Amino acid sequence: MSMTESARFAPVRQTFDATFAAGEELGARFTLVRDGEVVLDIWAGHADRERTRPFDADTLTPVFSTTKAIASVLIARLVDQGKLDYGQTVASVWPEFAQAGKGEITVAQVMSHQDGLAGLPEPMDPGLWMDWDVIVDKLAAMAPLWPPGTASGYHPITFGFTAGEIFRRVDGRTMGRALREDLAEPFGLDLWIGLPDSEFGRVAELERPHRFADFGKITEPKKLAFLTKWASPGGRGAQAWRRAEIPSANGHVTALGMARLMSALACGGELDGRAVLKPETVEAASRERIRGHDLVLPFEISWGAGFMRNVPNMIYGPGQGSFGHSGWGGSCAFADPERRLSGAYVMNKQSPDLIGDPRAVRLIEAAYGCL
């Protein structure tokens, strides 16, 4: 079933159907936007593991780290408004952050995973991730795991708290509230960080991966980021997780909402004829801040200010200037300013691939083949 589908993109539909036929999907959706217009929006499958509920246009999917693309747009909007600069220190808006030698860390370094706070070193109840003030106080007091600015090391969960607290100190609102008030409601984007109980019935159930991700040789940053008992939120149940605002990890979205948000980045900052960002802010958000072998993910990565740049891994099609973000289990969203194209893939059957899930890569490559 689809809302928007033209004969031009028939090969994408064939690729999508083949993935289901091979048993690689439970439910999924893929959306493309070009020049601000939705040119493809397809979905299929089931929203629950028992296969009783169809995966449809209203299904919300947890997208884990693809949420970081939303957080990065919200930070970029503060830069756009002149309320924040990527080059200023975090401590200039959040004085407590200067503890343990972090006084010179910049907003850009936090946004590009260079601040050395990839995971929390002290054992704790994983349910404490639901308590915003506890976590930001821990991060403010923490010493970096490596010299800030010397390397990137992906921050799977902590990124949302550092970026989110910077945002809160400057704007006064949480990221979840600002998303709702400034973007989701005005533009009709079905995007949530902090899900109201009224929306719970739309959420897709996840089928977890059947094997572990391959992190390569385990180091202390990798262990603290992903592999301790307290590395990620837990212990409070699915409802508490959905309600919490964790802008690095617990976004609930539709592919259409994500693809349209990314369309603003692909089209010079404009969405539905309205300026979301200035073109120079999009450039500042997406340009390379650091490139090298990441200390947490087993890849060479080029980071923008919160965005994963397409070069060198080329997981978002052939565009040299494309950028986006991927999430645990396979979801992703991307923008290609050169072609004024954006897209998003969401699904509820998770794979163990850390980035570049083959299902998404095949769909994106098929889409580019149709242009």
Q: Phi, psi at residue 67, to the nearest 5°?
A: -55, -30
Closest CA to 43 of 70, 7, 4: 4
Cα torsion 366, 28, 191, 226: sign: negative
pLDDT score at 23: 97
pLDDT score at 5: 73
pLDDT score at 1: 43
Cα torsion 110, 179, 207, 29: sign: negative
Q: Is 286 a catalytic residue?
A: no
Q: How far does CA 297 lie from the centroid of its chain?
A: 15
CA dihedral 31, 33, 39, 40 (to 10 degrees): -10
Encode pLDDT of 308-319 as tens digits.
999 999 999 999
Contact 5, 13 (CB under 8 A): yes
Contact 107, 178 (CB under 8 A): no
Q: Collapsing DSSP states into helix, strand and coil, what is residue 139?
A: helix
Catalytic residue, from 65, 72, 248, 331: name it.
65
The secondary element (H helix, E strand) that includes residue 44 is strand 37-45
Following DSSP, what letter does each residue of 323-363 receive, concatenated?
EEEE-TTS-EEEEETTTTEEEEEEESB--S-SS--HHHHHH
CATH superfamily label, 2-262+278-349+360-369: DD-peptidase/beta-lactamase superfamily (3.40.710.10)
Q: In 10 A of CB 17, how many CB atoms?
A: 13
Encode pLDDT of 272-295 as tens digits.
999 999 999 999 999 999 999 999
Give every residue of the chain whose pLDDT is below 70, as ranges: 1-3
Query: What global pTM score does this model have?
Result: 0.98
Closest CA to 315 of 327, 42, 306, 113: 327
pLDDT score at 212: 87
The secondary element (H helix, E strand) that includes residue 43 is strand 37-45
